Structure 1
Amino acid sequence: MNEYALVTGASKGIGREIALLLARSGYHLLLVARSEAELQQLAKLINETYKVHAFYLPIDLSVEKAADQVANWCKKQTPALSILINNAGYGLWGNFDQLTLADQMNMLKLNIDVVLELSHHLLPVLKQQKQAYILNLSSTAAYQAVPTLSLYAAGKTFILSYSRALRYELKDSTVSVSCLCPGPTATGFSNRAGMDALADLAEKFNMSPEIVAEIGLKGMFNKKAEIIPGFLNKISAFGTRLLPKFLIERITARLYQQ
């Protein structure tokens, strides 16, 4: 196999596990994240363990023109890019007016803008392949408004809606688009979001990133539109369609209250 996959946010968590699974399946890897040390370690592990090549680019995707740099780097590395994993992202916990606007806009830049920019830049390359895939990382937070995670949840709703629309637009092409919507996962999300107070609660419901990655890739290769790992997460997402919105918001507000 001489096909390549680009994985953003590849240094840890779900992104790292997806990269390892793809390497095991014979894909060459293009790895992107902020931490050069972690990327170097992952690339070395892949190069030494699997019969594939792993290249990496340490970059902060939230800075201006970062997505352009990544797209240009990918095109220089290979014309055979057949998988785009838009995994990079993070959350911020707190009331909208108590978090700085700059921090929240930076989060949205990474969670939304970079997904759109990389997809737009790389779709011409993906369309040239016999079969190609885009997997966008959303969240079960996409299925309802979440007080104290308002912009994070709204951004994930955007990604889910965008992914489904893009999927339809590309239905007659060689590119399949899927959206992975995990629930709580042991990735360090709570710490990054400033949710240390909820660490004990998160541990009770966390899925492992290995399982989420495996379910996500299986769904992607099966060309599923939406992929929700875990029975309880599926029930939760389905339940938001049945219950009144104000009740869902009250429940989530109590779960995530500061």
Structure 2
Amino acid sequence: MNTLQGTFALVTGASKGLGRAIAIELAKKGFHLLLVARSENDLAKLSEELRTNYGVTVAFYPIDLSENTSAGKVSEWVEKNDFPVSILVNNAGYGLWGKFDELSLTDQINMCHLNMDVLVALNYMLIPRLSKSNKAYILNVSSTAAYQAVPTLAIYSATKSFVLSFTRAIRYELKNSPIAVSCLSPGPIDTGFAKRAGLDAFSKMAEKFNMKPEEVAKIALKGLFSKKSEIIPGVTNWISVYANRILPKAFIEKMAAGIYKT
């Protein structure tokens, strides 16, 4: 990994939560950072913190990644500045809770666009640049929700299943390239995700199982640099994923429906 120090890592959704924690961990390891998120103020504060505390170079690009042209703009920014990117972390994404036919169709399609389309586009656009490195890494962030259908989180869990499947496929396609591809599938993280998704009632129960973003970030990077295909932080989350593989789907869906019921 020493050969990568001094190169850049691009992190989406970097201003808060898990993305912020991953950016900090990368800075600790000597990587320069390219930070992408909506909030310019948050990005500016984090950039200054990383420069001051870890002596790394940090550039940031404030943009709403849910916009149709966002991935192209990020790629153009990287190309224009000729940043030597060796790590891509696709962390940006969000969830919506509620019955499929009762939630806004526009909001659900926008979620699909951010969780899947933007992730795919950034992978596609940045693989040529990553390939220029002797070693490079892609970390696509999924969720433990990817391993089963989740009633009232139907679209979110489906998008994360897509991320998992897509990541495994391109990992195989790139196996003879300098790029190692991994999928991170965390469970509940103390990031405010449940509140944003509208899961206020569930957020209280989730607190019992929440992992800190800093803890997940450390596990994520350890798994990434070890070239693991799937990274599932936490014993409880690993057990739940294993159970989803061996128990009947109907049973799992009934359990999930009970947990996330409206």
Q: Same fold (TM over 0.5)?
A: yes
1:167-178 alignment runs, 5 A limit: 167-178=171-182
Determine the C-alpha separation between the residues in 1 that align with 2:31 and 2:80: 17
Letter in 2 for 1:72: E
Shift of 1:146: 0.1
Question: CA contact under 8 A between 1:240 and 1:248: conserved in structure 2?
Answer: yes
Secondary structure of the corresponding residue to residue 95 of structure 1: coil
Shift of 1:171: 0.2
Name the % identity.
56
The structure 2 residue matched to 1:161, chosen from 152, 160, 165, is: 165
Determine the C-alpha separation between the residues in 1 that align with 2:186 and 2:48: 28
Shift of 1:251: 0.1
The structure 2 residue matched to 1:60, chosen from 64, 69, 75, is: 64
The structure 2 residue matched to 1:186, chosen from 180, 185, 190, is: 190
Determine the C-alpha separation between the residues in 2 that align with 1:19 and 1:168: 26
Q: Find out whether 1:203 has 2:232 as its counterpart.
A: no
**Alignment: residue pair count:** 258
Q: Find out whether 1:237 has 2:246 as its counterpart.
A: no
Determine the C-alpha separation between the residues in 2 that align with 1:76 and 1:24: 27
Question: CA contact under 8 A between 1:134 and 1:177: conserved in structure 2?
Answer: yes
Partner of 1:103: 107
Shift of 1:64: 1.4
Determine the C-alpha separation between the residues in 1 that align with 2:154 and 2:258: 14
The structure 1 residue matched to 2:79, chosen from 68, 75, 81, is: 75
Determine the C-alpha separation between the residues in 1 that align with 2:243 and 2:203: 24
The structure 1 residue matched to 2:257, chosen from 229, 235, 253, is: 253
Q: Find out whether 1:123 has 2:127 as its counterpart.
A: yes
Determine the C-alpha separation between the residues in 2 that align with 1:236 and 1:188: 22
With normalisation by structure 1, the TM-score equals 0.99
Question: CA contact under 8 A between 1:4 and 1:78: conserved in structure 2?
Answer: no
Partner of 2:147: 143
Structure 1: tracts of 5 or more residues without a match: none
Secondary structure of the corresponding residue to residue 85 of structure 1: strand
Q: Give CA deviations for 1:204-235 in whole Å, capped at 9, x if unaligned.
A: 11000000010000000000000000001000
Determine the C-alpha separation between the residues in 2 that align with 1:104 and 1:209: 26
Partner of 2:226: 222
Secondary structure of the corresponding residue to residue 224 of structure 1: coil
Secondary structure of the corresponding residue to residue 29 of structure 1: strand
Determine the C-alpha separation between the residues in 2 that align with 1:2 and 1:180: 24
Determine the C-alpha separation between the residues in 2 that align with 1:10 and 1:227: 19
Letter in 2 for 1:133: Y
Letter in 2 for 1:246: A
Structure 2: tracts of 5 or more residues without a match: none
Determine the C-alpha separation between the residues in 2 that align with 1:250 and 1:189: 23
With normalisation by structure 2, the TM-score equals 0.97
Determine the C-alpha separation between the residues in 2 that align with 1:132 and 1:231: 28
Write out the 4+ residue segments of structure 1 that deviate beyond 2 Å after TM superposition: 76-79
Secondary structure of the corresponding residue to residue 233 of structure 2: coil
Determine the C-alpha separation between the residues in 2 that align with 1:162 and 1:222: 20
Letter in 2 for 1:186: D
* RMSD (Å) for aligned C-alpha atoms: 0.7
